């Protein structure tokens, strides 16, 4: 969006106080995300009451009328009209009252996304979105209603973009709303693994990383490709949501725990050092103590190296939000805490196993990120955006530290 606005002749400024226009790209995945958006609007208006605020993204698509009444909001632009933002702000006069541009997202047939030229901000790992939308209807999820049907970026376009990015960056992250569905449109025979093979053959990218892929889309073909290529990060992220069969059914998820387990065990067998992560949710409507325990024990039994734990939050318009047996918020949060502790323990065990090993990392501005998704503190400053091997000396509070030949001198207790 920023590139598109700059191309229209606008200039970017470092603070809200200096801006005439503030663009807020929003998330609506949970009620907490909505609240953050509303706070951000109030904050922007407080800092600069004369700035015009344009709110876009998923919250704008879902509930424009909630946003248009907030102070300072001049435009609310849904995902359906996102690519028209430069024209909306340039060509229409700022309306006196807030103006809504939202259409039916299910009319969207093509993959529309501005080309990614850069890693945003000072990041050194650009995120390339190659798929949008989702055809599933998980009963808790609002995303299909704000993102529309699944659609893929054309393969040639992805190859071209990765080729450009590879000339400046070592690692590119491929992402999507439901990334594993890339290429599944009617008439297409290409799958995500085929696209990745093309990227490896036709571009010079040194490291590709896949963001989240639904468990059943981790085909043997895809796992084998990740396991066998030295240019794909050993990182498998597969959303689980719950380890209880009964909860998964009510969530309308498309797999059972045994299917999920099969994928994860295969990933671990083929990649002994890989990062393996999942999204899990606590307090889905009707989740009993017994079902939560079933889920916890299932998660405990699998070789996860990290978890993203979410507290269930009702999204208006989804079937789960209408369920009569909502779990009390206190209980949802307590279950979240239990799973976070479990995740921290598993992550620490994994990090400890890395001490004494040599890992391939991409240097960031102040640290580095390993092939298997661990943050590494470097023993001496290195320029960002390099792919290097480092020997691991110890674990830190949340990551690893590179072995330093000088470490004994830095710590007088060691000398004693």
Question: Does residue 79 interact with ligand SF4 by CB under 6 A?
Answer: no
Identify which of residues 214 and 287 has a Cβ nearer to ligand SF4 in the complex. Answer: 214
The strand pairing partners of 53, in sequence order, are: 22, 73
Torsion over CA: 214, 119, 84, 32 (sign)? positive
Question: Closest approach of Cβ 179 to ligand SF4, in Å?
Answer: 10
Q: Give the Cα separation of 373 and 359 in Å (integer).
A: 10
For 91-133, list the strands marked E by DSSP: 99-101, 127-132
Q: Please tell me the distance from the alpha carbon of residue 7 to that of residue 89, in angstroms, as a whole number.
A: 13
Please identify which residue in 23, 141, 162, 374 interacts with ligand SF4, judged by CB under 6 A: 141
* Cβ-proximal residues to 151 (8 Å cutoff; 6+ apart), any chain: 108, 109, 110, 111, 131, 132, 133, 185
Q: Is residue 247 a contact point for ligand SF4 (CB under 6 A)? A: no
372 phi and psi, to 5 degrees? -100, 35
Closest CB to ligand SF4 among 16 and 29?
Answer: 29
Helix (H) or strand (E) holding 103: none
Residue pair 314/320 in contact by the 8 Å Cβ criterion: yes
Question: How many chain residues are in contact with ligand SF4, going by CB under 6 A?
Answer: 10
Site stretch for ligand SF4 (CB under 6 A), options 110-118, 133-141, 259-267, 341-349 = 133-141
Give min distance, CB of 317 to ligand SF4, in A. 13
Q: Dump the DSSP string for 276-307.
A: EEEEEEE--TT--HHHHHHHHHHHHHS--SEE
259 vs 345, which CB is nearer to ligand SF4? Answer: 259
Q: How far apart are CA 332 and CA 134, in angstroms?
A: 26
**CB of residue 134 vs ligand SF4: minimum separation in angstroms?**
3
Distance of closest approach, residue 153 Cβ to ligand SF4, in angstroms: 17
Binding-site member from 68, 143, 327, 369 for ligand SF4 (CB under 6 A): 143
The residue within the footprint of ligand SF4, chosen from 19, 68, 77, 134 (CB under 6 A), is 134
3-state secondary structure 93-154: CCCCCCEEECCCHHHCCCCCCCCCCCCCCCCCCCEEEEEECCCCCCCCCCHHHHHCCCEECC
Two tokens, residue 353: 């196993």
Segment near ligand SF4 (CB under 6 A); pick from 73-81, 134-142, 264-272, 347-355: 134-142
Among 28, 131, 152, 178, binds ligand SF4 (CB under 6 A): 178
Nearest to ligand SF4 of 138, 192 (CB atom): 138
Show the site string, 283-322: x = touches ligand SF4 by CB under 6 A, - = not.
----------------------------------------
Q: Any contact of residue 89 with ligand SF4 (CB under 6 A)? A: no
Which of 138, 162, 376, 400 touches ligand SF4 (CB under 6 A)? 138
Q: Is 213 in the site for ligand SF4 (CB under 6 A)?
A: no
* Terminal Cα distance for the chain, rounded: 57
Nearer to ligand SF4, 200 or 321 (CB): 321
Instruction: List residues binding ligand SF4 (CB under 6 A).
Output: 134, 136-138, 141, 143-144, 177-178, 214
């Amino acid at each position: 969006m920023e590139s598109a606005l700059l191309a229209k002749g606008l200039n970017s400024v470092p603070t809200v106080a200096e801006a005439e226009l503030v663009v807020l790209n929003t998330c609506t995945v949970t009620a907490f995300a909505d609240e953050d958006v509303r706070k951000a609007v109030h904050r922007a208006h407080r800092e600069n009451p004369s700035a015009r605020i344009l709110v876009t993204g998923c919250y704008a698509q879902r509930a424009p009328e909630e946003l248009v009444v907030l102070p300072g909001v001049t435009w609310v632009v849904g995902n359906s009209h996102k690519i028209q933002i430069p024209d909306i702000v340039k060509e229409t006069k700022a309306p006196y009252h807030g103006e809504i541009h939202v259409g039916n997202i299910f009319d969207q047939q093509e993959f529309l996304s501005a080309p990614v030229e850069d890693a945003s901000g000072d990041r050194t790992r650009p995120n390339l979105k190659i798929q949008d939308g989702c055809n599933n209807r998980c009963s808790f999820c609002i995303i299909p209603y704000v993102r529309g049907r699944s659609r893929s970026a054309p393969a040639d376009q992805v190859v071209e973009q990765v080729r450009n990015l590879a000339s400046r960056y070592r690692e590119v992250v491929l992402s999507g709303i439901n990334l594993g569905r890339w290429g599944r449109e009617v008439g297409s025979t290409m799958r995500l693994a085929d696209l990745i093979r093309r990227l490896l053959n036709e571009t010079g990218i040194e490291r590709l990383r896949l963001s989240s892929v639904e468990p059943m889309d981790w085909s043997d073909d895809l796992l084998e490709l990740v396991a066998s290529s030295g240019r794909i990060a050993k990182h498998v992220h597969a959303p689980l949501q719950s380890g209880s069969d009964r909860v998964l059914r009510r969530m309308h998820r498309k797999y059972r725990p045994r299917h999920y387990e099969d994928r994860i065990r295969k990933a671990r067998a083929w990649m002994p050092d890989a990062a393996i992560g999942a999204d899990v949710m606590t307090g889905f409507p009707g989740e009993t103590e017994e079902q939560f325990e079933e889920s916890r024990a299932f998660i405990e039994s699998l070789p996860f190296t990290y978890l993203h734990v979410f507290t269930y939050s009702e999204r208006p318009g989804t079937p789960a939000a209408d369920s009569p047996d909502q779990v009390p918020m206190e209980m949802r949060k307590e279950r979240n805490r239990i799973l976070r502790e479990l995740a921290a323990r598993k992550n620490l065990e994994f990090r400890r196993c890395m001490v004494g090993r040599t890992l391939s990392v991409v240097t960031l501005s102040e640290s580095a990120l390993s092939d298997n998704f661990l943050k590494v503190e470097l023993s001496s400053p290195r320029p960002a955006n390099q792919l290097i091997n480092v020997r691991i000396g110890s674990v830190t509070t949340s990551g690893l530290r590179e072995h330093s030949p000088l470490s004994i001198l830095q710590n007088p207790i060691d000398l004693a």
